[in-house]
């Protein structure tokens, strides 16, 4: 059940095609003009590409340097936290000797675990100060590289009595090289000191464990603050000195210091930032070449486009006529015959553009005494708006014939349309009417309320207005009203009452004023409404559905 758009009195609009002058012959743009445009685009594109690639490379280098500095500082923090593991055994052993008056067995018992196969030291010994010199009391492990008879050993241990912390010295002549540590309990003559040695790799090479937090770094440890080759302890650099981007941190280490030089073993920020300059460069060149080619084609086609414009103006009127024809084809073609009820409709297209609108109406006969009517407006224009309108129209018809209430119909439609996915929303008024009792149940999704006309009295039916379909999946409350005998109800879309720069209330009042009084027929009433209320210059479509009870 639908409405005949060719019914007598139906307002149809069709724009006449404008008169245009004959199009000039196709004249290509001069080759020099096209060539100049290509050269300009190439120069600009390559300059932009170089700037973007350079910027990406610079930012990546800065980011790599920042990450390397942060990693290096973390290495320094870890080393600082690890130094007590060397200092504490020496300090504790010396304090035990001091407390036990140099008890050899106590010293050996404490230091033995630190000198075993997996211990921290390869050798350790206990010394006591005697006058201006020192003498060895006990030794744990193999003979140290600096033996008890060596003046170097005595001199090194004596330095510990003058230092507030442990003293460190490299023993590079040994095979493998060693590092010597000595700590003395502060005090006068008779104080005790502990001397220990730790081996370092003969080739100075020591790889970082793959599961280490610093496995993405190369490193080199130097004893002291100098990066001289003679001070190198261990490294995993394939060659020294370090070249390229590197960083270093100096950590206090007893009476000396540890200098750590680091460099990235790979991109610290990931491979993508490292490859971005090349990616930008390649893409930039490709885009520049494509843009230059396009510029040449655009210059060449400009004059042809000017020629085509004249033809487009000539076709405009024809296309508008086709659009209006298609619009009416999507609307109902005939009205159902409902005893005791007179029906009339109008559809007036907007005056501008060639796009199809989304306004529609439907009347669906349920049985001899009940019918469903719908007036709706889909946002926007064009094929997509018309397709949404057609989809909603047939969806509502199907639900109406299944016996769903107006509220249920709108709720089901709201789950099938989304402004985010479909690009449109719709305002819809759905009503179920009983011809005999004149009782009407309405559900409103953001639409204007219908107008009831009873002689000189006109009033809009107050409905519970919900959100438009497509904006929310909410519920819609129904409103039930009884219209007076022989009264008329008009449902319409916003194109009827809206005018640019004017309040909606003014348009609604204009509609009420135009519908007061007796009218010979419903067709005459709608003709009067279109004439007095509608705006001849409006670009919005108008859809009106009139219903008059005959008893």
pLDDT tens digits, residue range 126-160?
Answer: 998 887 788 889 999 888 877 777 778 888 888 88
Please, what is the average pLDDT of the chain? 84
Yes or no: say if 251 and 257 are a contact pair by the CB < 8 Å rule. yes
Structural domain range at position 121:
84-199
Q: Give a yes or no: residue 301 inside a domain.
A: no
Whether the pTM exceeds 0.75: the reply is no
- Please name the helix (run of DSSP H) or strand (run of DSSP E) that holds residue 317, with its range, or none: helix 271-330
Q: Give a yes or no: residue 519 inside a domain.
A: yes
Beta bridge partners of 492: 544
pLDDT of 58-101, one tens digit each?
888 889 889 989 988 998 899 899 889 888 999 999 999 988 98
Q: pLDDT at residue 3 above 80?
A: no
Q: Provide the CATH number for the domain around residue 476.
A: 3.60.40.10
**Distance in angstroms (rounded) separating the CA atoms of residues 344 and 492:** 12
pLDDT value, residue 510: 94
Mean pLDDT lowest for which of 86-90, 143-147, 429-433, 483-487?
143-147
Q: Give a yes or no: residue 35 inside a domain.
A: no
**Distance in angstroms (rounded) separating the CA atoms of residues 523 and 253:** 104
Q: CA neighbours within 13 Å on the CB side: how many for 192? A: 21
The 3-state secondary structure of 416-455, one letter per residue: CCCHHHHCCCEEEEEEEEECCCCEEEEEEECCCCCEEEEC
Q: pLDDT at residue 4 above 70?
A: no
- Of residues 464 and 144, more confidence is placed in 464
Q: What is the band of 474 on the pLDDT scale with cuts at 50, 70, 90?
A: confident
b/e map of 495-533 (b: 16 or more CB within 10 Å)?
Answer: bbbbbeeeeeeebbebbeebbeeebeebbebbbebbeeb
Q: Give a yes or no: residue 135 inside a domain.
A: yes
**Distance in angstroms (rounded) separating the CA atoms of residues 549 and 531:** 24
Q: Output phi, psi for 523, to 5 deg.
A: -60, -45
Q: Provide the CATH number for the domain around residue 98.
A: 3.30.450.20
Q: Calculate ∠ Cα 221-226-231, nearest 5°.
A: 55
Q: pLDDT at residue 332 above 90?
A: no
Q: pLDDT at residue 11 above 70?
A: no
Q: Give a yes or no: residue 454 inside a domain.
A: yes
User: Residue written as tokens 């159902």?
Assistant: 336
Q: pLDDT at residue 327 above 70?
A: no
> Of 199, 218, 238, which closes a domain?
199
> Of 164, 199, 234, which closes a domain?
199
Q: 408-412, long-range: CB within 8 Å, 24+ apart, which pairs?
A: 409/443, 410/443, 410/445, 410/466, 410/469, 410/476, 411/473, 411/474, 411/475, 411/476
Specify the DSSP class assigned to residue 29.
Answer: P
**Distance in angstroms (rounded) separating the CA atoms of residues 474 and 464:** 13
Q: Could you tell me if 194 and 340 lie in one domain?
A: no
**Distance in angstroms (rounded) separating the CA atoms of residues 407 and 426:** 15
Q: Give a yes or no: residue 227 inside a domain.
A: no
Yes or no: say if 484 and 461 are a contact pair by the CB < 8 Å rule. no
Q: Are strands 370-378 and 359-365 parallel, antiparallel or unpaired?
A: antiparallel
> Of 150, 167, 199, which closes a domain?
199
Strand, helix or coil at 184?
strand
Beta bridge partners of 347: 543
Residue 381, preceding bond cis, omega within 30 degrees? no
Q: Give a yes or no: residue 517 inside a domain.
A: yes
Q: Give a yes or no: residue 237 inside a domain.
A: no
> In total, how many domains does the chain have?
2
Nearest in space to 177 (alpha carbons), one of 143, 203, 195: 203
């Amino acid at each position: 059940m639908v409405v005949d758009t060719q019914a007598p009195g139906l307002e149809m609009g069709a724009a006449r095609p404008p008169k245009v002058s004959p199009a000039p012959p196709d004249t290509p743009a001069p080759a020099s003009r096209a060539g100049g445009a290509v050269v300009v685009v190439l120069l600009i594109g390559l300059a932009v590409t170089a700037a973007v690639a350079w910027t990406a490379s610079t930012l990546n280098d800065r980011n790599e340097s920042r990450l390397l500095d942060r990693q290096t500082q973390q290495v320094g923090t870890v080393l600082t936290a690890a130094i007590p593991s060397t200092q504490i055994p020496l300090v504790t052993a010396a304090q035990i000797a001091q407390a036990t008056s140099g008890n050899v067995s106590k010293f050996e018992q404490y230091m033995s675990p630190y000198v075993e196969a997996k211990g921290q030291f390869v050798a350790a010994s206990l010394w006591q100060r005697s006058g201006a010199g020192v003498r060895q009391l006990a030794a744990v492990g193999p003979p140290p590289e600096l033996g008890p008879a060596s003046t170097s050993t005595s001199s090194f241990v004596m330095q510990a009595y003058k230092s507030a912390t442990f003293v460190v010295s490299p023993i590079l002549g040994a095979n493998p090289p060693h590092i010597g540590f000595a700590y003395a309990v502060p005090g006068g003559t008779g104080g005790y000191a502990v001397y220990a040695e730790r081996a370092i790799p003969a080739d100075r090479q020591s790889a970082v464990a793959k599961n280490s937090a610093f496995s993405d770094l190369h490193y080199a440890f130097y004893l002291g603050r100098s990066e001289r080759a003679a001070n190198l302890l261990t490294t995993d650099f394939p060659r020294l000195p370090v070249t390229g981007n590197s960083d270093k941190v100096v950590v206090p280490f007893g009476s000396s210091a540890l200098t750590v030089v680091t460099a990235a073993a790979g991109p610290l920020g990931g491979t993508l930032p490292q490859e971005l300059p090349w990616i930008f460069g390649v893409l930039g060149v490709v885009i520049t070449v494509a843009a230059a080619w396009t510029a040449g084609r655009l210059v060449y086609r400009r004059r042809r486009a000017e020629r085509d414009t004249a033809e487009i103006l000539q076709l405009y009127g024809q296309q508008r006529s086709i659009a209006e024809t298609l619009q009416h084809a999507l609307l109902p073609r005939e009205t159902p015959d409902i005893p005791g009820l007179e029906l009339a409709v109008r559809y007036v297209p907007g005056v501008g553009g060639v796009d199809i609108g989304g306004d529609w109406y439907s009347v669906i006969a349920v049985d001899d005494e009940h019918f469903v009517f719908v007036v709706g407006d889909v946002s926007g224009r064009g094929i997509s708006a018309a397709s949404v309108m057609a989809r909603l129209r047939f969806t509502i018809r199907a639900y109406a014939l299944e016996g769903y209430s107006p509220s249920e119909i709108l709720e089901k439609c709201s789950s099938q349309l989304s402004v985010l996915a479909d690009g449109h929303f719709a305002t819809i008024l759905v009503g179920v009417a009983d011809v005999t009792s004149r009782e009407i149940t309405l559900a409103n999704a953001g639409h204007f309320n219908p107008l009831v006309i009873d002689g000189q009295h006109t009033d809009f039916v107050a409905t519970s207005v919900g959100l438009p379909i497509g904006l929310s999946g909410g519920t819609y409350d129904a409103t039930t009203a009884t219209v007076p005998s022989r009264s008329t109800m008009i449902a319409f879309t916003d194109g009827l009452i809206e005018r640019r720069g004017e309040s909606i209330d003014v348009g609604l009042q204009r509609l009420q004023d135009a519908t007061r009084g007796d009218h010979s027929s419903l067709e005459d009433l709608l003709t009067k409404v279109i004439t007095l209320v509608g705006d001849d210059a409006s670009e919005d479509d108008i859809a009106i559905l009139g219903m008059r009870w005959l008893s």
